[in-house]
Structure 1
C-alpha cells in the first residue's frame, strides 16, 4: 500500500512540475487567462492512457487485484471520507477568496472556468462509465471505470493550483495531496480499481486545463456583457448521488 501512496503523490508532484517548467504558446486574450502548454498534456495523458490500457491488459488487471488485496490486508474498515474530500480542493478557492486572499481571477471568471471544467469532467466520466461497464471491486455495479470522485478531486486540485500558484504553489500541492488521498480511499473502500483512479485523475486534470484554455472564447461568446455576475457554488447530495450545485445572478 505504501508503494501505491508514493506513486500517486509522485504523479501529483510531477504534474505540478511539468506545469511550472513548460514553454507556452500564448493563445489568451489577457494575462489572467492560462496559455496553452503542450507539455502539460503529458501527465493527464499518461494517467488516462494507463487506465485505458488496463481495460484490456491482463497484467494490469492482475495488478489491480493485487492492489485491492493489499489494501484489504492492511485495513478492512470502510471510511466515507472520500465522499466529502472530493469537493474540498475547488471549494478552497472560494473559501480563500472569502477570507480575503484573492486568486488569479474574479468570481465571474473563476466560476465560468469551474462550471466549464465540471461539465467537461462529469460528461466524460459518465459517458465512459456507461460504455466501459467495468464491475467495481465490491461487485456492487458496473460503473467502476473511471473514478468520478477522483476526477472531481483532481479537477479541483488543478483549479486550486491555477488560481493560487502565483500566491504560493503550496496551495496547489495541498490540493493535489487531498486529491491523491481521495483516490486512495476509493481503492481502500473497494469502490474502484487503480486503473479507475488513474484515469479519473487524468480526466480531472485535463478538464480543468481545457476549461482555462477555452475560457476566453466562452467568456466572449456567452458572458461578454455580464460583468455583474455573482452567485454560489456548493456540492449537493440527494440521498443517492453527489454533484455540484451552481447558482448565478446576472
Structure 2
C-alpha cells in the first residue's frame, strides 16, 4: 500500500509504471479475461474445499462472517478511493484506475485461504497468493491497471481480511451471550394460575 501511495507522486515510480506498460504492450497479441473470474477463486475455495473433505480452521458461519466483512471493508475502501478519480487507466477508458478492485478481491480470497488452511498445509495459501498475483498481472497485461494500482489493491485486500479476522472474536462473544435458557413454572394460588419464570445464562 505504501508503494501504491508513493507511486501517485513519485516521478521515478510513475515512469516505472509506464515502462512496464510499454513492455507488455510490445509483447501482447490479444487480451485474456481470466482475471474477471480468477479474482473470486480464493473466496470460493474456502467453502468449496469442504466438499472434498478438506476441513477449514473455522466453522461455516465464521467463514461467512470473515468473507463478508473482509469483502465489505475492501469494497468500501476501493470505491472510496476510486471515486476521487485521480488516475487514468492505461487504456484511457476511465480515471478510476487506482486502486485495482480485481486485485483487491483476489487478495481477499488469498488471505482467507491462508488463514483457513495454513495449519493443514502452506501450499493452500501459496496457491491462493499465486492466483491473486496472476490476477494482478493480467490486469496489467490487459492494459487496465498500472503496477501501482495492483500493489495498492493487493495491500487493501490483505489488510481488509486481517481486520475481519481481528473482528471474529466479536461474533463468538455474541454467540456466547445469546445462550440464554428460560424456565417457566406454572403455579396455582387457589384463585388464579400464575406462570413464573427464571432465566439461566
**Same fold? TM cut 0.5:** yes
Task: Give 5+ residue unaligned stretches, structure 1.
Answer: 1-47, 227-250
- The counterpart of 1:101, out of the listed 42, 51, 54, is 54
Please list, as runs of the form range in 1=range in 2, the aligned pairs for 1:23-102 lying within 5 A after superposition.
48-102=1-55
Aligned residue among 169, 179, 187 for 1:216: 169
In structure 2, the gaps of 5 or more residues are: 180-201
| Largest Rg, 1 or 2 | 2
Alignment of 1:12-23 (within 5 A): none
Q: Is the 8 A contact 2:40 2:106 kept in 1?
A: yes
Deviations 1:160-202 (A, max 9, x none): 0110001111000000000000000000000000000000000
Structure 1 runs of 4+ aligned residues shifted over 4 Å read 221-224
Deviation at 1:132, TM superposition (A): 4.4
- In structure 2, the partner of 1:133 is 86
CA shift at 1:133, angstroms?
2.7
Distance 1:205 1:112 in 2: 16
**Cα distance in 1, alignment partners of residues 41 and 102 from structure 2:** 11
Q: Deviations over 1:33-81 (max 9, x none)?
A: xxxxxxxxxxxxxxx0100011111111111000001111121311100
Summarize the Cα distance change of 1:50–1:75 in structure 2 as closer, same or farther, 3 Å threshold.
Answer: same
* Cα distance in 1 for residues equivalent to 2:122 and 2:140: 28
Q: Measure the CA separation in 2 of the matches of 1:61 and 1:224.
A: 52
C-alpha distance after superposition, 1:106-144 (max 9, x if no partner): 100111011010011111000010124311000001110
- TM (norm. structure 2) is 0.85
Note the C-alpha offset of 1:218.
4.1
Q: Give me the whole-angstrom Cα distance separating, in 2, the residues matched to 1:219 and 1:132.
A: 39
Deviation at 1:220, TM superposition (A): 3.1
1-structure distance, mates of 2:21, 2:177: 49
1:192 aligns with 2:145: yes
Provide the TM-score with structure 1 as the length reference: 0.69
| Distance in 1 (alpha carbons) for counterparts of 2:96 and 2:114 | 29
Aligned residues: 179
